Structure 1
């Protein structure tokens, strides 16, 4: 059955692919865009746009009129902000989306969060119910956590809301802050990446973007209201990741270990410049501290309840490198 769907964040890395997947399935999709110029990637007979942002309630309600489903992907995921942008976008903006959806009688809402809210793997791979054992490293994590808490309360009061938590997403798509892993892959195969973070043993979980797209759609179809689902891929240390990229790329480059102490000092200097002169930092101390931990993730819940499937990391990196060498040249 073809549905009417509203989506935010449709011009982002994940959003672009999700909205086209839904449109190609025959659904009528309305995308919230800040301007017509932002909608250049959304040309499709089944896609319409409505201009506005998360704080234009009239645009939200107009876009959701007669909609069956809402996907909320828009978020503020930068390294740093000089004001309360993280709270405004990630908490207040989400509240506006959920209020509009409730007012317009939308049946189901899927909201994109992040695996970072659960925290690092202290006692083995984390899952959806693993209690967080360390403080939040970034404002992005903490505001996403607070937003999730509010969503669970809404779900308990009857609104159908499902949360999805992707890990480190990579694959073909815009080389922006949301696709930093693919940017790293490109820099390495071009011989421009020179550093190994820390001792190279920090574990991350890497998920292919197409898996995340399918995971969103499966969460809408089968997800239980009030629940969250980790959309992960394979765990790998930095050593393993770079070795894999080198094997697929055909050339191994020497990497220089960047001690965490040096990275932390650099992060502190960057933060000082940001707070005192408004210069956007490359990294902050909070982001550096994440390298002290392993970030292993289990996606068993999504696999069992949603039918979620994982693309092997080697296969995903191969497809990414192939794309970088053809479509992105």
Structure 2
């Protein structure tokens, strides 16, 4: 198939591009810069110039494809509502192009949309009180496209999608621990993060594209819950700094403008992928989060 991929040069998207090409698909990657275009050409993909907020570029990219994988997201901590609105408009645009065609659309969502404190499953609907509440509308809009003749599926990713080249929460925690000379965790540190390696996640996106029924909610989760105290412990050991509990009242001072990292680090976000594995035959094989951290590539360069 000829697949249009947004976020095709990103941490997860680039792994998806590699996975699709290895499986024999053609890939058209959305690129908003010359550097992104060059990266796609090097990977063996075609280039489609545009941007996530350029809806005409999204329409034309989807119109010439056999399916769409949407991973791009405007990640800005300063205006989460605006980021979610751009995402929603993109999904609606893809839906309008693909309606009635039966072609696949795979949309990225997050475990953070679920109510924290209990093991989230694929059957759980997003919570309006979740940490990522502005994105709830995107998931709902995507799944509604199943009734319009789109073979849509949603892949919920955990707080940590890890692997070499990660620039998400874990590198931010490492940078703060390096700067403050202490690897801190919230309270007793017993809250959990679900996790997945980006190569396992990429394989799930391909399987969703190829076989997921319309309206599927899928969980890209390899580990149901890794305690944040254990994460902080590995960081502290590699940096040779103390590992310590931090009261919530001290979080703003310790994390400064990265306090939103602490907000997610203090949440209990375990999740299961049992149904996803049963229905799609997806079985994670890459290293887990703590094992990946121990391979040292997270610590070889200051970030």
Partner of 2:281: 307
- TM-score (norm: length of structure 2): 0.84
Partner of 1:27: 25
Cα distance change, pair 253–37 in 1 and its aligned pair in 2 (3 A): same
CA contact (8 A) 1:5 1:30 kept: yes
Partner of 2:184: 196
> Residue by residue, what CA displacement relative to the aligned partner does 1:154-182 show, whole Å, maximum 9, x if unpaired?
2123221000001021111253xxx2224
Partner of 2:198: 209
Structure 1 residue runs of 5 or longer lacking an equivalent are: 271-280
Partner of 1:170: 162
Aligned partner of residue 169 in structure 1, secondary structure: strand
CA contact (8 A) 1:170 1:180 kept: no
CA drift at 1:214: 0.9
> Residue by residue, what CA displacement relative to the aligned partner does 1:258-278 show, whole Å, maximum 9, x if unpaired?
2112225778xx7xxxxxxxx
CA contact (8 A) 1:54 1:97 kept: no
> Residue by residue, what CA displacement relative to the aligned partner does 1:193-236 show, whole Å, maximum 9, x if unpaired?
52312122221112111111111111112212112111112211
Cα distance change, pair 39–266 in 1 and its aligned pair in 2 (3 A): same
Partner of 1:88: 85
Aligned partner of residue 70 in structure 1, secondary structure: strand
- Map 1:1-329 onto structure 2 (within 5 A): 3-44=1-42, 46-81=44-79, 84-102=81-99, 105=101, 107-121=103-117, 124-130=118-124, 135-137=129-131, 141-167=132-158, 168-173=160-165, 175=167, 179-184=168-173, 194-199=182-187, 200-234=189-223, 235-245=225-235, 249=238, 252-263=240-251, 281-284=257-260, 288-310=262-284, 311=286, 312-319=288-295, 321-322=296-297, 325=300
Cα distance change, pair 69–194 in 1 and its aligned pair in 2 (3 A): same
- TM-score (norm: length of structure 1): 0.78
Counterparts of 1:127 and 1:19, CA distance in 2 = 27
Aligned partner of residue 95 in structure 2, secondary structure: helix
**How many residues matched?**
298
Q: CA RMSD in A?
A: 3.1
CA contact (8 A) 1:54 1:96 kept: no
